Structure 1
Amino acid sequence: MLVVGQAIFTDDIFEKHFVCDLLKCKGACCVEGDLGAPLEESEVGQIEANLEHILPYLSAEGKKVIEEEGFYMKDWEDDLSTTTIENRECVFAVYDKQHILHCGIEKAWKDGKSSFQKPISCHLYPLRVSKYGEYEALNYHQWKVCTPACDKGELLQVPVYQFLKNALVRKFGEDWYSQLEKQVKEKLK
């Protein structure tokens, strides 16, 4: 186990390998599961502030759900998540011509139309965040839809934490990531 600042990780983040392979998984993580993408409270306001710039990137179905139900909901534990289209894909998920799902929020951000990149829970995937008091446990989530990503990560020898460098820096900062790298190097000695 590693503890870096207020974040706790299992050794999976440097022992396991992962590189998304969208051509094989087709963005299944945007569809599979019980709910939409987990949201932090601050992200609701950020999405709301950018929604008019994000909407043109979304499917007709996604826009309809947002119009009728909103773009987020609270679950039975009062946790926030994006709404879904008929309990399937996230309302912000859009299919391309190859039937691969992409994030409409991220597409708007990449085009310079939105200041919000995408929910941090999506950016950090395959890590799942659970809060324990002042600490956040980041656990490596393994499931069948990500088998191609595990295979590709193994082939390329990219540990989970390196694949997620940009997301981890976004969440915790550059200095924090440097501390993580030092701790991983110590563990691997």
Structure 2
Amino acid sequence: MFQLGKTIVSEEILEKDFVCNLSACHGACCVDGDAGAPLTKNETKILETIYPKIKPFLRKEGIETIERLGTWVVGTDQDLETPLVNNKDCAYVIFDGKTALCGIEQAYNQGINDWKKPVSCHLYPIRVKDFTEFAAVNYDRWDICNPACSLGKELEIPVYKFAKEALIRRFGPEWYVELEKVAEDLKNGK
């Protein structure tokens, strides 16, 4: 672990390799698990605002869930998160054949909204936990992502490079430049 500004960062995001491999996992992270995607308070407001625009991109079950529970929910651990369809799929999930995709991101890709998706989804496999004085930035290992670890190793792409856009989105470009310096120092044995 090392400190970077107001973050405590796990060295695993520099050392482990990762590249999403949708052809192997079929987007399992969006349909497996025991909770929806973590959201910030600001993201709950964004979801409320953009829901009418993204609704046409969503599947019937997702729309029914959102209209019954809301665009976001408070989870069992009191965290803000996306609602789940039948306690399984994220309500914003759509399917392209057997692959789960994000309906929010599909609307973004078509220029319908200017918000890509929750930053927690964009950052994955990095998880951020905010505390009063700092944020913990960790690598989250999940068996369903084994194909992504294998592809990352094959392509020699570490987690932090895979998640560059999301890390900049969350912490800013200056923070990311500092992260790159730490990675380079670590690589060079400094």
Q: TM-score, normalised by structure 2?
A: 0.96
Cα-to-partner distance string for 1:85-131 (whole Å, 9 max, x where unaligned): 0011100010012x100000111111110121100000000011112
Identity of aligned residues (%): 43
Equivalences for 1:172-187 in 2 at 5 Å? 172-187=171-186
SS of residue matched to 2:121: helix
User: For residue 39 of structure 1, what is the aligned residue in structure 2?
Assistant: 39
Equivalences for 1:63-82 in 2 at 5 Å? 63-82=63-82
User: For residue 170 of structure 2, what is the aligned residue in structure 1?
Assistant: 171
SS of residue matched to 2:89: coil
- Report whether the alignment pairs 1:95 with 2:92: no
Residue type of the partner of 1:71? T
Unaligned runs of 5+ in 2: none
Matched residues, number: 188
Q: TM-score, normalised by structure 1?
A: 0.96
- Report whether the alignment pairs 1:13 with 2:13: yes
User: For residue 118 of structure 1, what is the aligned residue in structure 2?
Assistant: 117
User: For residue 137 of structure 1, what is the aligned residue in structure 2?
Assistant: 136
Counterparts of 2:114 and 2:150, CA distance in 1: 33
Counterparts of 1:159 and 1:81, CA distance in 2: 27
Root-mean-square deviation (CA, aligned residues, Å) is 0.9
Contact 1:54 1:113 in 2 (8 A): yes
Counterparts of 1:30 and 1:75, CA distance in 2: 16
Unaligned runs of 5+ in 1: none
User: For residue 23 of structure 1, what is the aligned residue in structure 2?
Assistant: 23
Contact 2:17 2:152 in 1 (8 A): yes
Residue type of the partner of 2:64? K
Residue type of the partner of 1:115? D
Cα-to-partner distance string for 1:39-80 (whole Å, 9 max, x where unaligned): 000001111111111101100000011111112111233210
- 4+ aligned runs moved over 4 Å, structure 1: none
